Amino acid sequence: MLLFTPLVDALLAIPAPPGWETLVTGKLQSSGLVASEALLGNLHSILYITAFYQTVFVLGARMLLPRICDWRIGLKLEEERDLKVEHKYSRAQRARSLAEQASMHLVSFLQSLIVLDLSIAFLASPERSGAVPYPDASSRIFGEARETQVVCIFAIGYFIWDALISMAYSTLPFVMHGVVSTSVYLIGIKPYLQWYAPVFLIFELSNPFLNFRWFGTKFLPPQSQCNGKGKNLLKLLRQLLQVNNLVFLVTFFAGRIAWGWYQIGALCWDFYLVSGDARFLPFDTGVIVAGNLVLDVLNAIWFKTMLGVAIKTIAGKKAQPETHVKAC
């Protein structure tokens, strides 16, 4: 693994701006707003990562995707004219909106690959740094290692971006998702239960397939608008999309339900084992446990809904609109 090591190392190697310690981290520490040395020492990297994801978004929305989005909206307009459907937005407005949505999914896809790369590599070989850093409940809750710290840094950087971009392009629930997720990984970097940062980011296992599904649904044209070799290629792509959808369901169940429910149990047991320790933080513990339990219940509800849609589709029945699942 660690396919993204050059990118990760490059972002983490960017030095803090001149005067950063005096003007920013020093004042945050002296005012008592931030006590965590790990957060203060990596705050500039977190902001660079947020800026990196915003740069990817802008490049996608303004340079990489506009032409293909305009082409797809053109096909959509032809289909709507045939069906005599009227739309209140112009072609340019619809193409720009589609490019922005697609670029958000592009960033989500890239982020999931990066954090999965970091998380799986660590969980598969936690002894890479020379010794297993989390051998017991106490170290899993109160310990830290550079590998898990880096996972938290990238998660915080992305979720800050996610909250901000959702304010501009999405709805309040998605803004809250970004804010809550940022808070959770800020707790992790303190350090507090840092071991569980890569553990719970395994939830992202289904995210690449969710994004593939979104791109396939939005960009593959109707069969009626293709002919000859194009129709055969489109048929193959739609078959591949169905395979992707099946893999998405399997990875969603494996990562978010089977793994998720098991790990929340393990986390609660670790909390119980260290609850008498002076470093134990009841409020932070409550936030983490409550947040994970809510998310696990929502994941089970979403999976049931998606499974019902899949069964109806396979049976040839008209499926009800599928519940949207946040790509994060």
- Residue numbers of the domain that contains 121: 5-314
Q: Binning pLDDT at 50, 70 and 90, where does residue 227 land?
A: low
Distance CA 16, CA 26 (A): 13
Within a domain: 108: yes
Quick one: pLDDT at residue 323? 43
Distance CA 145, CA 188 (A): 11
Mean pLDDT of 96-112: 96
Within a domain: 60: yes
What is the DSSP code string of 258-299?
A: IHHHHHHHHHHHHHHHHTTSTT--HHHHHHHHHHHHHHHHHH
Within a domain: 323: no
Q: Which residues contact 7 (CB under 8 A, 6 or more apart)?
A: 114
Q: Which residues contact 198 (CB under 8 A, 6 or more apart)?
A: 115, 118, 119, 120, 122, 123, 147, 148, 151
User: CA torsion sign, 301 to 305 to 310 to 311?
Assistant: positive
Within a domain: 179: yes
Predicted confidence (pLDDT) per residue in 242-297, tens digit: 999 999 999 999 999 999 999 999 999 999 999 999 999 999 999 899 888 888 88
Mean pLDDT of the residues in the chain: 88
Within a domain: 269: yes
**What is the tally of structural domains in the chain?**
1
Distance CA 151, CA 243 (A): 30
Least reliable range by pLDDT among 92-106, 118-132, 195-209: 118-132
Q: Residue 89 burial (CB < 10 Å; 0-12/13-18/19+)?
A: exposed
Quick one: pLDDT at residue 322? 45
Within a domain: 123: yes
Within a domain: 82: yes
Global pTM exceeds 0.85: yes
4, 113, 137, 152 from 263: Cα distances, Å: 26, 21, 13, 18
Mean pLDDT of 146-150: 93
Among candidates 5, 244, 246, which has minimal Cα distance to 122?
Answer: 5
Within a domain: 328: no
Predicted confidence (pLDDT) per residue in 67-99, tens digit: 999 999 988 888 777 656 666 788 899 999 999
